Structures are given as C-alpha cells and as structure tokens.
Amino acid sequence: MAAQDGPERIDRGRFTFTFFAQDQQLATSLAQHAIATDSFPGLPRPAHRIVIAIAPDERRFRDWAGNAPEWGAAVAFPAQRRIVLQGRRAGSDAGDPLQVLRHEIAHLALHEYLGDLPPRWFDEGYASYAAGEWGRTNVLATNVALALRGMPTLAELEESFSGGATAAQSAYALAYRAVAELAALDPNRGLALFFQYWGAEQSFERAIRRAYGRTSLGFEKHWRSRTRQQYGALALFGNMTLGALLLLLVLAPLYVMRRRRDRERLARMREADAIAERAAAQSALEALLNGTPPDPTP
C-alpha cells in the first residue's frame, strides 16, 4: 500500500501504532519493544490503552504535535492517551526511537497513576530516568553557568523548560538528576513508597517526608549540593581547558613569529661577522703583500 493511500495500524497488547507503509518496520520494532518493556520504576503496571502515531515527515509531525517545541522529537498527550513521534525520515537529533518512545510512554504511565500532581521538572525527570537516558548528564559537564552561577532551585528548574533549546537541554539533565537522587534515597524500594504516599496524600511535601524522612527543602539542598559537586567542577575544568586552548591558539602564532625573528636576526649577525672576518683577512693579506705589518689585534 502506498503511503498516500492512508495509514496502517498494528495492535499489540495495550498499544495501537498508526503509521504509513514506509515506517512499517519501525512500527513493528517499536511495538515489540513497548510490549517487552511495559513496566516503569516505582509504578504499578499501566493499564490504559495508548495510541502511538508515527509521522511520515516533518510537516505532519508538526501538524500532529501541535504546540510542541521545534527541538522536540516526540510528544505525549496524557489526557488523550496518545503519543506522536517522528518516523524514519527524522534527523539524527531525534534520538534513538526506542528510547524516545519509552520516554513518552513513561509520561503516560506517571500520569495514569498520579494525574496532574507531578510538576514539569518531575514529569520530565522521571521520563528520562525511566528511559535510562544517562547520556543527558553529559551536558552538565560543559555547563559553565552551573559552575559559575551555581545550581538552580527546583522552582527555577521548573521555569527553565520554556527557555529555549539550550536551556531546556540543561533542564532535562538536571531534572533527571533530581529524580535519580530521589530514587537513590531508598536503595531497596526506590520511588515505590514515595509514589504510594504521593497518590494517597496528594502532596509532594508529605510524600517525601513519609517515604524518605526528609523535607522537600532538605532534598532540594541535597540534590543541588550533589550535582554541583559532581558536575560544577567538571564544567569549570572544561571551561578552563577551553580557555587554555584558546590562549594557546592566540599565543602560538606570536611564539612562531618571535622564533622566526630571532632566527633572522641571528642569521644577520652571523653574516655580519663573516663579512667582518673576510674584511680583516683581506686587510691582513694586503698588508703582507705591501710589506706593512698588520695592525695588532686589540
């Protein structure tokens, strides 16, 4: 069936994939992976049916994604239980489609259990954590603002998702770190008790107190300190290294020019000495030929 004849579909478990013929292989791989990995850290197994629409090109992805940011590779609509992601024509910046899909399904799984309780930073951080997006923290190692200005608060982190592509990438990485640090507070149960208390209490503050014996402010200080210690120094070191390289690029030509001038001056001095020696030898020879003793060397 040609792509323009309309979309096809695959039903696997609670997932329905709609796609055009060109993305059939991708849809099949995504469906198999979604079924095989349909559980999420700390959450009960999701039950809601989900529709995943694979856009055949950039134009239709933008049409279907609505107000998604330009740098977004996929978007989840929890209220509609729908996900839109790019097909095989997506660029390399769209990421691994298996990981991208799991990230978006994690949004829906979290929403299924907690509704609209999680703020944006936790929602994005949990989706990254559930999808195993460890590579996100690489951006923190080169984040000079983190080294110089320090860590944001959770409230500031919440606002940074709307600050453009660069700010958003740092926000995703910091949100991932926050959720990972929260889960690490209970090595045995991770986020499970916290989610139970959050759903029952309808309060992040009371849930974190009951699950981890900390206040939200105490956890925020812990997350900021740990992240600054681990990545702030790396960012500063990276900035110093970059500065050293830039300084080397500026000074290297000056050093080469100085060495060249020194070599040229030394060559001129040697040439002048040779000329003087030849003149002295010629003068001594002429004196001998004329029977006049040469001037004594001083």
Q: Is residue 209 predicted with pLDDT exceeding 60? A: yes
Span 223-244, average pLDDT: 61
Is residue 94 within 8 Å of 26, Cβ to Cβ? Answer: no
Comparing 184-198, 211-225, 262-276, which segment has the lowest mean pLDDT?
Answer: 262-276
- Sheet (strand 82-86) strand order: 8-12, 15-19, 50-55, 82-86, 74-77
d(CA 152, CA 256): 45
Contacts of 123 (CB under 8 A, 6+ apart): 107, 110, 111
Per-residue confidence band for 236, with pLDDT thresholds at 50, 70 and 90:
very low
User: What pTM does this model have?
Assistant: 0.74
* pLDDT for 237: 43
Counting residues of the chain whose pLDDT is more than 90, the rounded percentage is 54
Is residue 42 within 8 Å of 30, Cβ to Cβ? Answer: no
Nearest 5°: CA angle at 243, between 241 and 244?
Answer: 65
Span 33-58, average pLDDT: 96
Identify the structural domains of the chain with CATH numbers, from first to last. Answer: 1-116 (3.40.30.160)
Higher-confidence position of 202 and 258: 202
Q: Is residue 194 predicted with pLDDT exceeding 80? A: yes
- Convert the pLDDT of each residue in 54-96 to its tens digit: 999 989 999 998 877 766 789 999 999 999 999 988 877 778 9
Which residue from 125, 210, 133, 213 is spatially nearest to 171, judged by alpha carbons? 125
DSSP letter for 264, please. H
Taking the alpha carbons at both ends of the chain, their separation in whole angstroms is 105
* pLDDT for 125: 96
Higher-confidence position of 265 and 216: 216
H helix runs in the chain, sequence order: 24-36, 58-65, 97-114, 120-130, 144-149, 154-160, 165-184, 192-201, 204-212, 216-227, 233-289
Nearest 5°: CA angle at 110, between 108 and 111?
Answer: 60
Higher-confidence position of 84 and 227: 84
Nearest 5°: CA angle at 26, between 113 and 94?
Answer: 70
Higher-confidence position of 32 and 298: 32
Which residue from 69, 237, 71 is spatially nearest to 146, judged by alpha carbons? 237
